[in-house]
Amino acid sequence: MNYRHAFHAGGFADVIKHIVLVRMLTYLQEKPAAFRVIDTHAGAGRYDLTGDEARRGGEWLSGIARVMQARFSENALPLVTPYLDIVRAFNPPGELKAYPGSPMIARALLRPQDRLTACEIEPGARKQLIETLRRDAQARVVDLDGWMALPAFVPPNERRGLVLIDSSFEHKDEFEKLADGFTEAFAKWPTGSYLIWYPVKSRRATDTLARLVAGAAAASKPAAKCLRLEFSAAPQAAGGPLTSSGLLMVNPPWTLAGELKTILPELEKPLGQGGAGRFRLETPKP
């Protein structure tokens, strides 16, 4: 899978991933103790939706653009508003010209006592991220491969926080790296929260990943909880563009499953391509 995020920024997968990220970080804010966000594959931080890559990909038009115009119920609206407000803060009033990546979404939710560690080795993306976070005392951009950073930076000094693992899946062994990297990091920090993104193209690969992650979580004492969410904007065609993606959430907030059951049905129509999308939310088995 050849993946340059500027082509996909603001697409359905970003919308789902970032809504979940915001819900998890909002829950961490409820306690006064500091937390840290570790973004292992951070990307550029901000994406120009008027640029050549975003225009060629065009995924934001059937993603964030539709969600910004959608009408939500009185139950779902308070849950998606914090995410939508962050996106609006990167744009002129009433316009959609830019989309924030995960490090900037996380940064928007940090309190004065919280910190962000963002890892990125691609020179162009790292340069953009450094420019975006320049002179920010709460955020640090690290020139380190995410798979090396994953076990190296846990547990953080704060002892509370979230690890976002959102790799590019440019290599055939990425699913194996993900399972091994999570297992190693989780053994060092079993009380942290983890949010893992993956593309859904091979059912065998995704089921194996979910089983391995759930197994590592279940082996901890006490056993950690794990949620699996997959969202399909359209049926996945062989050799076609990505239309389905997944998230694994380890040590999620106890409120998250209920919140997602409220939010996700209202995203099926705006994010569906040629018809309504569909989701599944479950507790994976080891």
Mean pLDDT for 209-217 is: 96
**C-alpha span between 253 and 107 (Å, rounded):** 19
pLDDT tens digits, one per residue of 253-271: 999 999 999 999 999 999 9
Domain map (residue ranges) of the chain: 5-282
Q: Which CATH class is domain 5-282?
A: alpha beta
> What angle separates helix 256-263 from helix 12-28, to the nearest 10 degrees?
140
Dihedral sign computed on CA atoms, order 79, 256, 160, 39: negative
| Helical H segments across the chain, by residue range | 5-8, 12-28, 52-57, 64-69, 77-89, 102-108, 123-132, 146-152, 174-188, 203-218, 256-263, 268-271
Confirm whether pTM is higher than 0.85: yes
Token code pair at residue 145: 């491969």
Q: Is the pLDDT of residue 57 over 80?
A: no
Confidence band, pLDDT 50/70/90 cuts, at residue 89 = very high
Contact 100, 45 (CB under 8 A): yes
Q: Is the pLDDT of residue 39 over 90?
A: yes
Mean pLDDT of the chain: 93
**C-alpha span between 48 and 67 (Å, rounded):** 18
pLDDT tens digits, one per residue of 124-182: 999 999 999 989 999 999 999 999 999 999 999 999 999 999 988 877 788 999 999 99
Residues with a known catalytic role = 166
In the 3-class helix/strand/coil scheme, how is 51-108 assigned residue by residue? CHHHHHHCHHHHCHHHHHHCCCCCCCHHHHHHHHHHHHHCCCCCCCCEEECHHHHHHH
pLDDT value of residue 170: 76
- Nearest Cα neighbor of 177 from 150, 155, 144, 216 is 150
Token code pair at residue 213: 């992650």
Looking up tokens 């966000």, which residue turns up? 37
DSSP letter at 202 equals: -
Q: Assign 237 to helix, strand or coil.
A: coil
**C-alpha span between 133 and 126 (Å, rounded):** 10
Torsion of CA 76, 42, 150, 188, to 10 degrees: -30
**C-alpha span between 210 and 232 (Å, rounded):** 17
- Nearest Cα neighbor of 4 from 64, 54, 40, 61 is 54
Mean pLDDT for 55-83 is: 94
